[in-house]
Amino acid sequence: DQQVKQNSPSLSVQEGRISILNCDYTNSMFDYFLWYKKYPAEGPTFLISISSIKDKNEDGRFTVFLNKSAKHLSLHIVPSQPGDSAVYFCAASAWTGNQFYFGTGTSLTVIP
Binding residues with other proteins: total (CB under 8 A): 30
Taking a C-beta distance cutoff of 8 angstroms, is the pair 82, 25 a contact?
no
> Which segments within 26-95 are labelled E, that is strand?
32-38, 45-51, 56-59, 62-67, 72-77, 86-93
CB of 85 to other proteins, least distance (A): 18
Kindly tell me which residue out of 22, 27, 31, 61 binds other proteins, with binding defined by CB under 8 A.
Answer: 31
Nearer of residues 79 and 97 to other proteins, judged by Cβ = 97
Alpha-carbon gap, residue 25 to 90, rounded angstroms: 10
Residue 98 within binding range of other proteins, rule CB under 8 A: yes
**One character per residue 73-92, x = contact with other proteins (rule: CB under 8 A):** ----------------x-x-
1 binds other proteins (CB under 8 A): no
Residues 103 and 44: beta-carbon distance below 8 Å:
no
Site residues for other proteins per CB under 8 A: 4, 6, 9, 31-32, 34, 36, 41-46, 49, 51, 89, 91, 93-105
